[in-house]
Structure 1
């Protein structure tokens, strides 16, 4: 990945991080409340508290991948796992944190965000390293900013807090949609012969945010099969 693209992704993610924090932070007045934390989110069997805890643990996991790559011995090609203990420990950590009140949720989320951004500030060798995601496959550390940007924006919509502007693809920032729609549409086209598979006509008629939502499995289009892509 070229440095200009990486810088753009880090900058876009930082803006999304700040939008998330400033929108939800109770100290700002009209932010997150304890009652909101207990509400069902747009994700099955997850409350708003589950989504927020997941975002914090996800940031911690990317800090772990980054610093492991940064501190690896020269010539080492043994990437660490995103979540030590795998999916069971990851899920248990989310459950354990989901019932916390709004203030504790935001303290944890803010800490995890700033630690991740701080890790990227000091990273040098890490950008040439790799990490192993929960799904089991390895990715370059340079892919983490876009993956985190996607995670933050999509889960802002998953919160289902309409009164805070955090409800569905309409909540996603225009900059994120422009950037990731290009990436995901290219991945879609690359699945077919000669990389020429176009999006279904009904999907092309959607607004950009909903076109991206379909590609990410966050929006269904009647008469069109799911995209079936893993971002």
Structure 2
């Protein structure tokens, strides 16, 4: 069961961690490439701010974004801003999301995200935690997948494993971390079952497209090629 209050506290902690780390940048380094293809660090920071506002829309029953093109245009518009403006925007947009989440509401209700995806309102804070935590890694400023909280890593692996269940391009796949945590995913494609084992950070990195899976061990077949998220 989702604990949205606890997740909101984790979002606040992750946001402060990111802001404190990004404050060590300067305008020049903020415009350098991030680890995401085609985006510099300014794009990542702009996306985080606009994502917070988009989740306010979700919680208040409005479309998450006006359109995909509008979302992309907003990020391109905001990416070149000076670092102090970027950080203030991330902080202020995060505060707006927190204020919205503090309003008494039915957290069991269904909300709509991008591209017609639906979820319970209670999972929105965790989704925001994912955005903040993984994009902190994407900034490429010394925070790695290995630095993520263990609870987050376990939950995000489970979330992504669930996302690929029955996917037509993913064979039946058993996932396990070196410390014995297990999940199953795929099953929509022929072949398998494939057993994939390795460190939790590498397993997460492979599932979310941040690592190529070279540190993982596959048994029963080759390491599956995962579709884009």
**TM-score, with structure 1 as normaliser:** 0.77
What residue is the counterpart of 1:38 in the other structure?
Answer: 31
**What CA deviation, in whole Å up to 9, does each residue of 1:113-165 have, x standing for no partner?**
1111111111323x23333222222222222111111111111111112xxx2
What residue is the counterpart of 2:99 in the other structure?
Answer: 118
- Structure 1 spans left out of the alignment, 5+ residues: 26-30, 69-79
Q: What does residue range 1-231 of structure 1 map to in structure 2 within 5 Å?
A: 2=1, 5-25=3-23, 31-68=24-61, 80-84=62-66, 86-125=67-106, 127-161=107-141, 165-166=142-143, 168-187=144-163, 190-191=165-166, 197-199=173-175, 200-201=194-195, 203-205=196-198, 207-222=199-214, 223-228=222-227, 230=229
Number of equivalences: 200
* C-alpha separation in 2, matches of 1:184 and 1:128: 21
Change (3 A) 1:139 1:185: closer
Tell me the secondary structure at the aligned position of residue 157 of structure 2.
helix
Deviation >6 Å, runs of 4+ = none
State the Cα distance separating 1:102 from its structure 2 match: 0.7
Contact 1:217-1:226 within 8 A present in 2 as well: no
**What CA deviation, in whole Å up to 9, does each residue of 1:36-91 have, x standing for no partner?**
111001111111000000000000000111123xxxxxxxxxxx32101x110100
Contact 1:153-1:173 within 8 A present in 2 as well: no
State the Cα distance separating 1:94 from its structure 2 match: 0.3
What residue is the counterpart of 1:28 in the other structure?
Answer: none
* C-alpha separation in 2, matches of 1:16 and 1:7: 14
* C-alpha separation in 2, matches of 1:23 and 1:173: 16
Cα RMSD, aligned residues only: 2.2
Change (3 A) 1:152 1:226: farther
- Structure 2 spans left out of the alignment, 5+ residues: 176-193, 215-221
Change (3 A) 1:183 1:91: closer
Contact 1:67-1:123 within 8 A present in 2 as well: no
* C-alpha separation in 2, matches of 1:123 and 1:83: 23
RCO comparison, higher one (Cα < 8 Å, 6+): 1
State the Cα distance separating 1:224 from its structure 2 match: 1.7
**TM-score, with structure 2 as normaliser:** 0.78
- Which structure: greater strand fraction? 2
